[in-house]
Amino acid sequence: MNFADLHLHSRHSDGTYTPLELVDAAVENELSLIALTDHDTLEGCPAVAEAAARVGLRFIPGTEITAELNGRELHILGYLVDLDHEELRDELARAQKIRQNRVREMVARLNARHVPLEVEAVFELANCRAPGRPHVARALVSAGICGSLDEAFERFLKKDRPGWVPKEKMSAVRAVDLIHAAGGLAVMAHPGLNHDDTLIPKLARAGLDGLECFHPKHNSSATEKYQAMASSLGLLVTGGSDCHGRSKNRPTMGTVKLPTEFVDLLLERHASRRAERAASARDGGAGSAAGTPAGI
Ligand code: AMP
Ligand code: FE
Ligand code: FE
Ligand code: ZN
């Protein structure tokens, strides 16, 4: 049987693997297809695509958009989007600016509490356009202020701790529309982490294409529950390890191996969407690329 991992992070967001290391790890884990889903960026996709092609590994470009619905943060995976789509690129650039400013604000708040962390140290360590709390945590550890990443989150970075700064997020409906406009498919990441399953039918009505049923944080009964929900709502089933590289206490590659039959269905849905768009463009209906109903 062939296996895929549709949820992976690299150094272009808060993962530790370079694109080459990511591909090496996929080969080690005997995967035949991977997707890159860095937070709020598509930047690593060309390099991973190239490295994957060299070793005969299939590759799906993607991103994991930080979004919100009903005041809750949730993550929308966008697969097979056009990497050059201007509106998507602009929105991701905006999200990256928000992340960079949030890091500045987090460090300012820590400094106000006499934690001597330098913002340049965080940016240097992150070395990417989409930095986040894990980079601040790593900088706190490498400055010797904290003994571990967990300690950094517990003492400083969790909600309502001294370095906590709320994040401005795009609406989930907008994220779904944007992914569709860029020719991609929108999948809700790790629904089990949201503890609010009522969000799923709402997103389905907004045009969501799939649900990440297989995830290291879902036990087998959660996986079954989400597969049943996907089936009743007509959503694709996806899955991945959400690997952030070599990091203690975090999921690693290989913890979720998705049979590629699920990916075949995703690719079929993507191809039929593309054919529908081409037909509607021929009929003079160009512009409404995805035809997504907006109302929730
Ligand atoms: P952000 O998007 O900047 O709010 O950061 C969220 C990231 O921090 C996600 O990838 C989480 O998995 C990660 N994270 C949350 N808690 C911890 C923790 N205790 N240790 C390491 N990473 C964590
Ligand atoms: Fe992350
Ligand atoms: Fe996520
Ligand atoms: Zn992720």
- Looking at the CA of 99, name the nearest ligand: 1
Q: Closest Cα to residue 46, out of 23, 65, 25, 14?
A: 23
Select from 133, 169, 244 the residue to mutate for testing ligand 1; criterion: most ligand atoms less than 8 Å from CB: 133
> What is the Å distance from ligand 1's center to 181 Cα?
29
Q: What is the pTM of this model?
A: 0.94
> What is the Å distance from ligand 4's center to 205 Cα?
24
Residue 285 pLDDT: 60
Please say whether the beta carbons of 76 and 189 come within 8 A. Answer: yes
Q: Closest Cα to residue 82, out of 95, 92, 97?
A: 92
Residue 250 pLDDT: 72
The pLDDT averaged over each successive group of 10 residues in the chain (296 residues) is 95 96 96 98 98 98 97 96 98 98 98 97 97 97 96 97 96 98 98 96 98 97 98 98 84 93 98 92 65 39
Residue 286 pLDDT: 52
- From the CA of 9, give the closest atom in ligand 1: 10
User: How do residues 119-168 score in pLDDT, each as one tens digit?
Assistant: 999 999 999 999 999 999 999 999 999 999 999 999 999 999 999 999 99
Give the residue whose CA is nearest to atom 4 of ligand 1. Answer: 133
| Burial of residue 54, with CB atoms counted within 10 A of its CB: 0-12 exposed, 13-18 middle, 19 or more buried | exposed
Say how far apart CA 136 and CA 118 lie, in whole Å.
10
Ion ligand 3 neighbours (CB, 5 A) are 75, 189
Give the residue whose CA is nearest to atom 16 of ligand 1. Answer: 153
Q: Closest Cα to residue 31, out of 63, 9, 1?
A: 1
The position carrying tokens 């006499």 is 114
Select from 76, 153, 160, 168 the residue to mutate for testing ligand 1; criterion: most ligand atoms less than 8 Å from CB: 153
Residue 248 pLDDT: 66
Residue 247 pLDDT: 72
Say how far apart CA 49 and CA 59 lie, in whole Å.
6
> What is the Å distance from ligand 2's center to 189 Cα?
12
Torsion 247-44-59-280 (CA) sign: positive
Say how far apart CA 203 and CA 293 lie, in whole Å.
11
Q: Per-residue DSSP letters for 103-144?
A: HHHHHHHHHHTT----HHHHHHHH-SSS--HHHHHHHHHHTT
Residue 12 pLDDT: 98
Say how far apart CA 77 and CA 13 lie, in whole Å.
14
Torsion 167-168-171-175 (CA) sign: negative
